[in-house]
Structure 1
């Protein structure tokens, strides 16, 4: 699963979209992901959606409210989404999107460290990013102003920490996710991720400062 991610600035998201449109490699980030704001479920974050043949940036809320659980649903299993049934049917048909992030966090299933605030054991946090400091493109689905991050089986970088991982995409794979056959994207074994153990407080939600021009932006 994915319950925290490091947020990109709007300028960085716009740069990501330009690279995707031009089919060019993503540019490295200047700021280390662990120093960035951290989004958690029900945070508002920039998401890239295809609209009329163009890529558009929208501020969407992370997570769907449902009657059958207390908290929001913020992850979507790829195998469930591909079944064409259940709550993700319409979002998979009409609402696929990209969630550009600086990195994502996962708590280790068994490793613990002492909380710097309380001194009690807490799960060790791991930060996952690229080795070349470029952003990550996460597959997502969106509907009615909300989005969820799609997950798949973990690759060798994530497996020691967690039994699920976000569906990370390369630039050439974006078209296949947004409008093609997503089934071949399930295997992420060849995707290079770097894991770093970080201080527990770095994985805590930290909201970004409001953007000067928030809401919805069209790049082209």
Structure 2
């Protein structure tokens, strides 16, 4: 699935790729984003795409129980978006883009978990398909939340995991957010879309003390897998 990712992007970088409107602001770099953290999300606004902070982990608008009882909703399976009560309303009318610098996945080797970092092969930010919701707590306070859509892994990614985020081209961003037939975009990315390297096991932890640029440095010689065809 996708349980950890990075967002070390500037407003200008996102503006070059998307029809971003609103007042520019400084974006805090994040190298170890975990579920329930605040993330930056692109959603449709009256004049274009708005960049809005949201909780990572979708809360349906109709949720009445305590949040402690909410199932894990930081990922949504592409195959069942139109069926699952947790996601079907958001899939109809509240789709979004989660801009990301990269994401992490883990493999196992000799009883230990090895973290791998994935980013776009062309160096551009990734456009992860997402859904968002607006929920009000019992006191009437509004909370915006989002989830990342995941689907079956392509052959290249399947060496690491059987699932992967739905990666959109930036040219399809508007179609995903407000198009009439978004399901046509729910397909695995091409094999050549991503690059990968292993990183420090420090990323296995989450928290303020483990969120810095060195987390995505290459850990030379640890469990590296060649690209297909190499």
Q: Report TM bin, short chain.
A: 0.7 to 0.9
Aligned-pair CA distance for 1:203: 4.8
Provide the aligned length of Structure 1 versus Structure 2: 185
Counterparts of 1:13 and 1:94 in 2: how far apart (Å)? 25
The aligned residue for residue 44 of structure 2 is 50
Are 1:17 and 2:15 an aligned pair?
yes
Aligned-pair CA distance for 1:91: 0.9
The aligned residue for residue 131 of structure 1 is 121
Counterparts of 1:98 and 1:185 in 2: how far apart (Å)? 13
> CA separation of 1:162/1:141 partners in 2, compared to 1, >3 Å: closer, same or farther?
same
2:76, 2:150 within 8 Å by CA — same for their partners in 1?
A: yes
TM-score normalised by the chain length of structure 1? 0.74
The aligned residue for residue 168 of structure 1 is 167
Please show how residues 92-131 of structure 1 align to structure 2 within 5 Å: 92-108=91-107, 110-111=108-109, 121-131=111-121
2:131, 2:146 within 8 Å by CA — same for their partners in 1?
A: yes
Over residues 85-141 of structure 1, what are the superposed CA-to-partner deviations in whole Å (9 max), with x where a residue is unaligned? Answer: 411122112211110011000112x335xxxxxxxx431111111122211110110
Aligned-pair CA distance for 1:206: 4.7
Aligned-pair CA distance for 1:59: 0.7
Counterparts of 2:167 and 2:204 in 1: how far apart (Å)? 19
1:37, 1:205 within 8 Å by CA — same for their partners in 2?
A: no
1:64, 1:147 within 8 Å by CA — same for their partners in 2?
A: yes
Any stretches of 5+ residues in structure 2 without a counterpart?
21-28, 135-143, 213-230
CA-based RMSD: 2.5
1:168, 1:188 within 8 Å by CA — same for their partners in 2?
A: yes
Counterparts of 1:82 and 1:13 in 2: how far apart (Å)? 32
The aligned residue for residue 75 of structure 2 is 75
Structure having greater relative contact order (Cα 8 Å, sep ≥ 6):
1
Are 1:195 and 2:196 an aligned pair?
yes
Instruction: Tell which structure's C-alpha radius of gyration is larger.
Output: 2
SS of corresponding position for 2:113 = strand
> CA separation of 1:97/1:189 partners in 2, compared to 1, >3 Å: closer, same or farther?
closer
The aligned residue for residue 29 of structure 1 is none
Over residues 49-101 of structure 1, what are the superposed CA-to-partner deviations in whole Å (9 max), with x where a residue is unaligned? Answer: 11114111111010135769665311001111134x41112211221111001
1:38, 1:203 within 8 Å by CA — same for their partners in 2?
A: no
The answer to which of 137-146 and 67-76 deviates more is 67-76
Aligned-pair CA distance for 1:198: 1.5
Counterparts of 1:13 and 1:206 in 2: how far apart (Å)? 24
